[in-house]
Amino acid sequence: MKTCRKPSPACKKQRLTEHRLYACRNCSLPSISATQKITNISNWQNLFLVLPRKRLQAEAKNLGVVIIASLFEKRAQGLYHNTTAVIDADGSYLGKYRKMHIPDDPAYYEKFYFTPGDLGYKRFDTKFGKIGVLICWDQWYPEAARLTALMGAEILFYPTAIGWATSQDEATNTEQYNAWQTIQRSHAVANGVHVVSVNRVGLEQNGAMKFWGGSFVSNPFGSVLYQASHDKEEIKVIEIDTAKTDQYRTHWPFLRDRRIDSYDGITKRYIDGE
């Protein structure tokens, strides 16, 4: 497992049984003034042009690994997506997922940069397993995890860039990190799948933002199989046995007992009382 400070074609390593997947952490955009935003888009676009798909495909084939690569996708003039490309261990391109949920928080003004995804949720059938990829802010939404799991994903990957304002107190930092990890572990429990969350480390905005790292792997009972540090780049191999998913789902049969006939309201923005 690797958490890193800069984009890399192999920012996180995850082994499935005897095999490996690499997941790059999510690209992050620094907080800047409105007058700088257009220049910043150009800079990020140029940055990711140095990691073309063919190069990543060659690396995946050479190493015999699956690569989940976070990219700043330019779809058309003035139309950008926060995107992950998935490349199989033989170098074949399996497709891409575009981030569905776009935040607009202090230091994360992504609605200016990114258009919401329009490809829906995805399952990718790799050499080493069926995986789902969601991106950063998507991790707070149970609906996204559920739909991806219902498509047959055996592992949910979350490439991420999230952190603390360095002006915050330690109690707030701890509370925020615990909430971040808890919501993703709950996705593992509710869906009976493993979750792999990849977060970066390091400082941006002249030291005002510290990315909290803490990448982790959760089993389908929500137990943390490994958790990385908050401030160091790391590589760690964690073995996952996806065959155990059936055991977890048999003993806690949440999917079996879903009352799908009662969920119409979930498609509403809010259920107003009359």
Q: Supply the CATH classification number for the domain 13-256.
A: 3.60.110.10
Per DSSP, the residues of 82-133 read EEEEEE-TTS-EEEEEE-----EETTEEHHHH-PPP-S----EEETTEEEEE
pLDDT of residue 236: 87
For the cut 80, the answer to whether the pLDDT of residue 33 exceeds it is no
User: Please, which residues bridge with residue 16 across strands?
Assistant: 19, 240
- Do β-strands 155-160 and 194-199 pair in parallel, antiparallel, or remain unpaired? parallel
- The pTM of this model reads 0.86
Tens of pLDDT along 257-267? Answer: 999 999 999 99
Distance separating alpha carbons of residues 237 and 56, to the nearest angstrom: 21
pLDDT of residue 19: 41
Q: Residue 28 — pLDDT band, cuts 50, 70, 90? A: very low
> What percent of the chain lies above the pLDDT cut of 70?
81
Longest dimension (CA), the chain: 61
pLDDT of residue 107: 73
- Do β-strands 13-16 and 155-160 pair in parallel, antiparallel, or remain unpaired? unpaired
For the cut 60, the answer to whether the pLDDT of residue 220 exceeds it is yes
- Region of poorest pLDDT, from 63-77, 112-126, 133-147, 215-229: 63-77
> What percent of the chain lies above the pLDDT cut of 90?
68
Q: Where are the domains of the chain?
A: 13-256
Contacts of 137 (CB under 8 A, 6+ apart): 99, 101, 102, 103, 110
Helix (H) / strand (E) containing 257: none
Q: Which of 90, 100, 19, 24 is nearest to 61 (CA)?
A: 90
Which residue would you say has higher pLDDT here, 24 or 268?
A: 268
For the cut 60, the answer to whether the pLDDT of residue 149 exceeds it is yes
